[in-house]
Amino acid sequence: MSSTREQPISAHSDVSGVTPDGAAWLASAGTYPRSTLALWEERPDAPVVLPCGSTFDVVGAPAVFGRRMVDRLWAEGPGSGPVAAFRGRMLLFAAPGTAQRLPSLLHWEEFGRTGAIPPLLCHGTGDAVTVPAPMAAGGGSPGRPDSRWLVAPDTRRPWLPGPEILLWAAVRAARAAVRISIFPPADLGAKVYDVSRRR
């Protein structure tokens, strides 16, 4: 079992990079894994475009909502697989096949129809994503704050959540964001009388 799954996200929030086994796993998604690893040996701070669908799928969420999903996965669920922040979106690495199944699950779930869950971009077979560099630029200090690993791959076979787990996390994150009140909204134009001074 991967140590990524055993520790809360707070333990991974300042990770500087991917382990060699994690880099090998990421590179295995591409057509030429040895070329990808050679590039990273020469330039470990270089982001790379990798295909989805065989080694992993990726679910992209707006940064704030994605962070809520990851927090739910760690606080109440089984944990997450690798997670990266890239250009204002959270990239949750998922089991292959998730990108095909998750949209229909979201459509079926009532939260998907009400708009409480923002659009999630599901990348699967035929898609590719840019993943952050395995090592932060400058030997540990983030080179690009908009491109970094929050939960870095650390094994050749990381645990990856499937569509049902990500649906659960999205619904929980949406419920946490919605304020529920039993009172109707206040009428801002209503006249208010002070009845505390009755005789």
Answer whether 0.95 is exceeded by the pTM.
no
- What's the pLDDT band for 9 if we cut at 50, 70, 90? very low
Report the alpha-carbon distance of residue 54 to residue 51 in Å, rounded.
8
Question: Of the given ranges (1-5, 25-29, 191-195), which has the lowest mean pLDDT?
Answer: 1-5
User: H or E stretch including 48?
Assistant: strand 48-51
Considering only residues 57 and 139, tell me which one the structure prediction assigns the higher pLDDT: 57
144-171 tens-digit pLDDT: 567 899 999 999 999 999 999 999 999 9
14: confidence class by pLDDT, cuts 50, 70, 90 = very low
Judge whether 130 and 47 are in contact, CB under 8 Å: yes
Contact 132, 84 (CB under 8 A): yes
Query: What gap in Å lies between CA 103 and CA 119, rounded to an integer?
Result: 10
Helices (H), the chain: 3-6, 20-27, 33-42, 63-76, 98-108, 110-114, 163-177
Supply the pLDDT for residue 108: 83
Average pLDDT rounded to a whole number, residues 69-94? 95
Residue 68, token pair as written in the block: 């809520």
Classified as helix, coil or strand, 129 is strand
